[in-house]
Amino acid sequence: MPRVTQLYEYHVKHAKMTEFAGYDMPLWYTTTTDEHLAVRNSCGIFDVSHMGRFEVGGKGATEFLEGMVPTKVRTQPVGRAFYTLFLNGRGGIIDDLIVVKTTESTYTVVVNAANSGTDMKHLVDRAPGGVEIAEVTDSTIMVAVQGPGASESLQPICSADLSQLKRFRSVPTEILGKRSLVSRTGYTGEDGFEIIVYGPTVQNPKDGLEIWERLAGASTPCGLGARDSLRLEAGLPLHGSDIDATTNPFEADLAWVISEGKGEYFGRAAIDTARESGPETIRRGLVLGKGIPRHGFNILDESDSRTGTVTSGTFSPVLRKGIALCRVRREASEVGSPVKVVIRDTIEGGNLAKTPFYDEQTYGWKRAAQH
């Protein structure tokens, strides 16, 4: 039997359900296109309670995490939420994650649902005595409130002044009187928040459902279909499809997470070697003139030599075109290069493209900052 989140009772009444990472999750409530456009144009909410949530604290927590990720930890200010990676000894990406520095010596770590067991073991196996790691996935809910209208939807039930919360910042607060952690982060490219509310369990989900239903009254509930098309349109990789334990940060086009002048961390030796040799393939965006690129489709150059593979693709509701993330050979990876994609028995033309795929004056969190 698949697991369920605390908000299952709402989803099963209103959504088409699907199994994802061992959880029975909403795929769509109305249509993926409508939910997608609600997030780009106003506000959508997503139940992301399936994602793994760990609290890391105790003596030496900062030094421990410093040694586990390629991003600087000690110098991050309290209240910062930052994106980083867990690496294996070969420099491959075990998972991508968000770390929230909640106090000088405590951290909340949010990881992909499918990897949370692996991540937990990765941490516990290497944690020195004194460091405490607790999983809080089952005793908290997590909801993403995303879109240009996110502040307006969340503010009425949130005690903190959201206008004072900058992007990639986090604040402990109350939502409908319940202890919460609100971060200005997300997986859609839009302005928005990810909230963790402490307390609700599957056995006693009442407080969680009340918050979800209040938010649903002011925004559009969205399923995993829109979550995937939104993150793809924003050019954000999905671990397990676009990046995985065999991809290093240079191949993943995520080298920016590696802080300069950082000391030892797990995977460092392999990262230094990989930086020297450079990636053989690199992650890129791709836009097609016609057709929809899908996972596993081959990419050819103009002389029909194979240069790469589509790692995830969809139809972009904003561009009205097929878009994809792909892995292409470095020498054929220049943005703008013409490419061909083999779609079943036809070949369609397109170009490698910058990400986000949409015009950032019109969509995405940067446009909100202009007002």
Partner 1 sequence: MDFSGYQIPKELLYTKEHEWARVEGAIIRVGITDYAAKSLNDVVYVTLPKPDERVEQLKAMGSVESIKAVSELYSPLSGTVTAVNSELLMHPELVNKSPYSEGWILELKPERLDTERKVLLDAKGYAAHLASINKDQPTSSQSP
Q: How far is the CB of 371 from partner 1 (least distance, A)?
A: 29
Cα 2 from Cα 258, distance rounded (Å): 36
Q: How far is the CB of 283 from partner 1 (least distance, A)?
A: 21
Distances (CA, A) of 203 to 138, 143, 208: 10, 18, 11
Q: How far is the CB of 34 from partner 1 (least distance, A)?
A: 8
Q: How far is the CB of 313 from partner 1 (least distance, A)?
A: 10
Quick one: 57 or 235, whose CB is closer to partner 1?
235
Quick one: 36 or 101, whose CB is closer to partner 1?
36
Quick one: 44 or 208, whose CB is closer to partner 1?
44
Cα 27 from Cα 128, distance rounded (Å): 40
Quick one: 15 or 110, whose CB is closer to partner 1?
15
Q: How far is the CB of 27 from partner 1 (least distance, A)?
A: 6
Inter-residue contact 48 to 195 (CB < 8 Å): no
Quick one: 180 or 229, whose CB is closer to partner 1?
229
Output the CA torsion sign for 260, 265, 269, 274. Answer: negative
Q: How far is the CB of 32 from partner 1 (least distance, A)?
A: 5
Q: How far is the CB of 33 from partner 1 (least distance, A)?
A: 5
Cα 244 from Cα 99, distance rounded (Å): 19
What is the contact surface with partner 1 in residues (CB under 8 A)? 16-18, 27-28, 31-34, 36, 225, 228-229, 291-292, 294, 314-315, 317, 322, 344, 346
State the DSSP string of 146-183.
ESTTHHHHHGGGBSS-GGG--TTBEEEEEETTEEEEEE
Q: In this structure, what DSSP letter does residue 135 have? A: E
Quick one: 30 or 159, whose CB is closer to partner 1?
30
Tokens of 270: 């392999």
In sequence order, the 6+-apart residues with CB closer than 8 A to the CB of 209 are 6, 7, 9, 10, 200
Q: Which amino acid is at 66?
A: E
Q: What is the 3-state secondary structure (H, E, C) of 248-266?
A: CCCCCCCHHHCCCCCCCCC
Quick one: 258 or 292, whose CB is closer to partner 1?
292
